[in-house]
Amino acid sequence: MNATTRDQEAALWTDANSCLLNYGTKFNPDIIVRAHDIFVYTASGRKILDWTSGQMSCLIGHGHPEIVETIREHAANLDHLFSGMLSPPVIKLAKALTDVLPSGLDRALFLSTGGESNEAAIRLAKLYTGKFEIVAASSSWHGMTAAAVGAQYLSGRAGYGPNMPGNHPLPAPNAYRSVFRHADGTHDWRTELDYGWSLVDAASCGSLAAVILEPIQSSGGMHCLPPGYLKAMKVHCDARGMLLIIDEAQTALGRAGDMFAFEHEGVVPDILTLSKTLGNGLPLSAVVTSHEVERVCRERNFLFYTTHVSDPLPAAVGLKVLEIVQRDGLVARSRVAGARLHAGLRRLQSRYGCIGDVRGRGLMAGIEIVADRATKRPAPELGSRISDKMVEFGLSANLATISSFTGVFRIAPPITITDEQLDAGLAIMEEAFNAVEGSQPLYLPV
């Protein structure tokens, strides 16, 4: 990096430190000046593999040429409209999305963010059922709007006064750390779930409206729901006259190896929310529900009227993302590449004792860093040093800074990733683990 570049970067940091309001994270030390394909580029001239797809959003990579052209065309000709006006991209995306979804997910609404879509879904559930209590997993993350943050327990609840009333947590299924165990040591998720519901029933005032759930708890540490869990949850919902809301912000459109992650168990939710992957990094989210829920809520004057509802430009991008995923066979590609990724991560686990667990599905993976495999004692500081070394060597793989993550790398590269790019990233990870003291090598490097 030459002196001019250093001076420019220093000036940017001076301005950032003087005028940006911190929003709950420690900023990355690199200022990013460009993003393309699976890489981001720093002001200092470094090229870094992006294994989190931006904020888990760039499903088909940064700067995809067809996405760029779609944005250019609609920025010039059909960008934003009065919220009551419809446009071809909105109608076509609703038709394409509901066509690829199973019966029962028939009506779509398009908004901007994941939190906004979950807010709308919760309002729909409350209006439809006439009840107000919402149940969610204890490690959930659903957004920063009022009802969404009220239904999340990972972080963000303390210090702001009363949360939305009527929210209840269920123990999040964590096969690695749960205290609920069968005699053979395996995770007894069914007893855990039933016990959680007994507590919810005891706390409820008799107005249980909906459960909101992520198929893979990404912010909660990349935990997949155990096989059979989603079906059992639907039984609990039906027994109480509740709706099931599935939040697929990160898992939809092939990321987890199925077009939609709920399809992995064949359970159709009453309401589905999409965001992140649908817009490939642009602010686009969706709420999809049944004809019946839509009819009842329309008759009861459902209101979720925002400035950017049914915006044509992001809808056109969502339509193009869906087209590319289907046309290019990217769901199948995610399964194949995911198998390669997980095999590589398990190989790392066999070589470094600090890797306590490897989990995930498709091109979503979590690596939990521990100080001791026997006690499973978390080692977030070690994880932080490994993360810094990865970035130094050219790979960005998110290590959550929230303490409740306990030091878990969340990995979710674009599903367009090549085998060569996968292998390059795994090699950088190996190099970083090998270079950091305390990683507990289990073999002698050649």
* Per-residue pLDDT reduced to its tens digit, 96-110: 999 999 999 999 999
pLDDT-derived band at 28 (thresholds 50, 70, 90) equals confident
Is residue 276 annotated as part of the catalytic site, yes or no?
A: yes
Calculate mean pLDDT across residues 334-360: 97
Residue 19 host element (H or E): helix 3-19
What is the C-alpha separation between 337 and 93, in angstroms, rounded? 27
C-alpha to C-alpha distance for 260 and 404, rounded to whole angstroms: 27
Work out the number of other CB atoms within 10 angstroms of the CB of residue 440: 17
Average pLDDT estimate for 183-194: 98
Q: What is the number of H-type helices and E-type strands within the chain?
A: 13, 18
Using one digit for the tens of pLDDT, what is the confidence trace for 259-277? 999 999 999 999 999 999 9
Catalytic site residue from 133, 188, 214, 368:
214
pLDDT at 435 over 70: yes
d(Cα 397, Cα 432) in Å, to the nearest integer?
Answer: 12
pTM of the model: 0.96
Q: Region 287-300: what's the mean pLDDT?
A: 98
Task: Round to whole Å and give the CA distance between 66 and 64.
Answer: 6
Residue 400 confidence class, pLDDT cut points 50, 70, 90: low
* Tens digits of residue pLDDT in 40-71: 999 989 999 999 999 999 999 999 999 999 99
Known catalytic residue at 51? no
C-beta separation of 186 from 218 below 8 A: no
H-only helix segments in 260-329 = 291-299, 312-327
Lowest mean pLDDT among 9-18, 91-100, 276-285: 9-18
For this structure, is 214 an active site residue?
yes
Active site residue 250: yes
What are the residue boundaries of the structural domains of the chain, listed by start? 66-327
Segment holding 75, helix H or strand E = helix 65-77
Q: Using the predicted structure, report yes or no on whether residue 20 has a pLDDT greater than 70.
A: yes
Asked if pLDDT for residue 2 goes beyond 80, the answer is no
DSSP helix/strand/coil, 372: strand
Q: Which helix (H) or strand (E) holds 399?
A: strand 398-399
User: Can 72 be counted among the known catalytic residues?
Assistant: no
Task: Give me the catalytic one of 37, 51, 119, 141.
Answer: 141
Contacts of 57 (CB under 8 A, 6+ apart): 276, 277, 279, 280, 281
Domain 66-327 classified CATH 1.20.1280.50?
A: no
- Which residue matches tokens 């009453």? 270
Average pLDDT over residues 229-234: 98
Name the catalytic one among 333, 359, 385, 410.
Answer: 410
> How far apart, in whole angstroms, are the C-alpha atoms of residue 85 and residue 78?
12
The one catalytic residue among 247, 270, 294, 311: 247
pLDDT > 70? residue 445? no
> In whole angstroms, what separates CA 133 from the centre of its chain?
24
The helix (H) or strand (E) run that includes residue 286 is strand 285-289
| CA pair distance 346, 199, nearest whole angstrom | 37
pLDDT at 388: 92
Query: Quick one: pLDDT at residue 393?
Result: 96
To the query of whether residue 320 is one of the catalytic residues in this protein, the response is no
Average pLDDT of the chain is: 95
The catalytic residue among 131, 234, 276, 359 is 276
Lowest mean pLDDT, pick from 101-115, 153-167, 309-323: 153-167
pLDDT at 406 over 70: no
